[in-house]
């Protein structure tokens, strides 16, 4: 687990790191790391999506409310 932990330390805040260190079972640690990575990835994707939509010219914007990712990672339009 140590090499994997070193690769993802940049994603963890001190509290998250402490939580991971307290988990005794390697498979549970790995599961928790995947959950943290998924949340971080969705947050980054949402920030990028918000930025793209905020810079589109008005005629190209399909709706006025912000575009949000759903739990499955798709947008909130009807084509999903």
Is 0.95 topped by the overall pTM? no
Output 22 or 12, whichever has higher pLDDT: 22
What is the widest separation between alpha-carbon atoms in the chain? 54
Quick one: 5 exposed, middle or buried, by C-beta within 10 A (0-12, 13-18, 19+)?
middle
Beta strand extents in the chain (DSSP E only): none
Distance, C-alpha 70 to centroid of its chain? 12
Give the tens place of pLDDT for each residue, 30-74.
Answer: 888 888 888 888 998 888 888 888 877 776 656 555 566 666 555
Domains of the chain: 2-52 (1.10.533.10)
């Amino acid at each position: 687990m140590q090499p994997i932990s070193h690769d993802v330390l940049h994603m963890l805040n001190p509290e998250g790191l402490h939580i991971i260190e307290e988990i005794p079972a390697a498979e549970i640690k790995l599961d928790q790391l995947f959950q943290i990575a998924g949340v971080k990835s969705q947050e980054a994707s949402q920030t990028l999506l918000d930025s793209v939509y905020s810079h589109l010219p008005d005629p190209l914007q399909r709706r006025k409310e912000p575009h949000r990712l759903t739990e499955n990672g798709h947008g909130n339009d009807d084509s999903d």
